[in-house]
Amino acid sequence: MQILNRKKVIASVIERDGLFLLAQREKKDSLYGKWEFPGGKLEGSETDQECLARELNEEFGIDATIGQHLCDVAFEHKDTPYVMRAYHVPHFDGELELREHSQVHWVSLCNLSSYPVPEPDKPIIVYLQDKFQQKL
């Protein structure tokens, strides 16, 4: 997959006690009601890790530890090519505040597929289920 010439979006796979955080988009969003792995677009010259730490602080008021890169997902939105890069977030400090989402759920690996997520998030779920198959 070619990621050059694609805008980058960074997603978090926040894990706690074997559960994964999904956040539901608010009404003001075009994907209202969908559940997602939170994150956002790179700004300026920031790294993927800097972007994700900033986005999680802005969206939830937390200070996140950004772990290893998990996978990339290429997609198009409104005729613009993107690549979403997913990173593991094994720890964060602070209490989750809902600043840009209507709610969050901590979801088991086997239940991730039951949530309506945007198309680019689906390959992340498949990746996680394949990677952690032995835990199911």
Separation in Å, CA 80 to CA 6, 8, 13, 71, 75 = 8, 11, 24, 20, 8
Alpha-carbon gap, residue 16 to 90, rounded angstroms: 7
pLDDT tens track for 23-82: 998 877 666 789 999 999 999 999 999 999 999 999 999 999 999 999 999 999 888 899
Domains of the chain by start residue, with CATH: 7-135 (3.90.79.10)
Residue 17: in which H helix or E strand, if any? none
Whether the pLDDT of residue 90 is over 90: the answer is yes
Regarding pTM above 0.85, the answer is yes
Instruction: Answer whether 37's CB lies under 8 Å from 121's CB.
Output: yes
Alpha-carbon gap, residue 9 to 80, rounded angstroms: 12
Alpha-carbon gap, residue 134 to 124, rounded angstroms: 17
C-alpha torsion 122→124→96→48, nearest 10: -130
Alpha-carbon gap, residue 104 to 30, rounded angstroms: 18
